[in-house]
Amino acid sequence: EKIHNEIFKNSTEASVIVAQEIAELIKSKEKQNKSCVLGLATGSSPIKVYEELVRMHREEGLSFSNVITFNLDEYYPMTKENNQSYHYFMNQHLFNHIDIKPENIHIPDGTVAIEELNQYCIDYEMNIKNAGGLDFQLLGIGRTGHVGFNEPGSHINSGTRIITLDHITRVDASSDFNGIDNVPKRAITMGVSTILRSKRIVLMAWGQNKADIIKRTIQGDISSEVPATFLQNHANATFVLDQSAASEL
Ligand code: GLP
């Protein structure tokens, strides 16, 4: 296993450390007059990282003027205004509170017509490439072992595309959607290869209900059955865990 683990007492402490790494990266790129390209995640896991980045912006003057972001995924179909959308989530938790340029924000668009999706996904990949590639990718993990929405069966060479959500993922999202029948059946996600090309990857997991998938991801065989195991091949990936998520290692 090549993945490096860091285990913290709780998710608050861990999130502050992750936010500090991101802030240092932004500042070092700024000093070199370069943009900083961040791959961002949604879900409950990164919320405290965004809180801390917003605090650093407000209290320490951390600027996001040189930051370009690409979000991992979005439900499909999904409007940007829907409060279950990842657009809404990112605005609420981060973008509304910092000085990022709106044109530097990229989130897969859940309103693209189905016949235009193929080209849309090719363009999303091209936009990442043209920005210089991802400097840093923040990840959570689903109980199926998905990163982004790369569900079991996702190929190591997969790029941005539309996928069908796993039943377990839809069950886990059902409380947000007031019942599983309201959870979209599909999503647009960056691919496994898109994620693996990031120069740096930090995956965060909190709580006992992630302990089993964390064990399978770090100690299991590398396989499409648990797409997060592909991170074992990455040269610079760290898993940031709280004690409960690390309890089966
Ligand atoms: C969703 C997201 C994933 C995220 C996962 C875990 O499925 N698409 O990117 O990692 O949920 O969510 P949470 O962090 O809430 O446990």
- For the segment 243-248, the average pLDDT, to the nearest whole number, is 98
pLDDT exceeds cutoff 90 at 46: yes
What is the distance between the alpha carbons of residues 242 and 224, in angstroms, rounded to a whole number? Answer: 26
The helix (run of H) or strand (run of E) holding residue 16 is helix 11-31
> How many Cβ atoms from other residues are within 10 Å of residue 81's Cβ?
8
- Domain ranges for the chain: 4-242
Yes or no: say if 43 and 73 are a contact pair by the CB < 8 Å rule.
no
- Please, how many CA atoms are within 13 Å of residue 93, restricted to the half-sphere of its CB? 20
Catalytic residue of the set 57, 87, 93, 146: 146
CA of 31 to the centre of ligand 1 (A): 33
The whole-number pLDDT of residue 169 equals 96
CA of 235 to the centre of ligand 1 (A): 23
Respond yes or no: is residue 73 known to be catalytic.
yes
Cα distances from 99 to residues 33, 109, 203, 222, 240, in angstroms, run 17, 22, 25, 40, 27
* Structure token pair of residue 90: 């990112």
Which residue puts its alpha carbon closest to atom 6 of ligand 1? 142
Respond yes or no: is residue 13 known to be catalytic.
no
Ligand 1 pocket test target in 141, 168, 171, 177 with most atoms within 8 Å of CB: 141
Yes or no: say if 162 and 76 are a contact pair by the CB < 8 Å rule.
yes
The whole-number pLDDT of residue 206 equals 98
Instruction: Give pTM, 2 decimals.
Output: 0.97
pLDDT exceeds cutoff 70 at 84: yes
Hey, what CATH topology would domain 4-242 get? Rossmann fold (3.40.50)
**In sequence order, what are the beta bridge partners of 36?**
67
- For the segment 153-177, the average pLDDT, to the nearest whole number, is 97
Mean pLDDT of the chain: 97
Q: Is the CB of 43 under 6 A from ligand 1?
A: yes
The whole-number pLDDT of residue 2 equals 66
- The answer to whether the Cα torsion of 23, 24, 29, 33 is positive or negative is positive
- For the segment 234-245, the average pLDDT, to the nearest whole number, is 97
**In sequence order, what are the beta bridge partners of 245?**
none
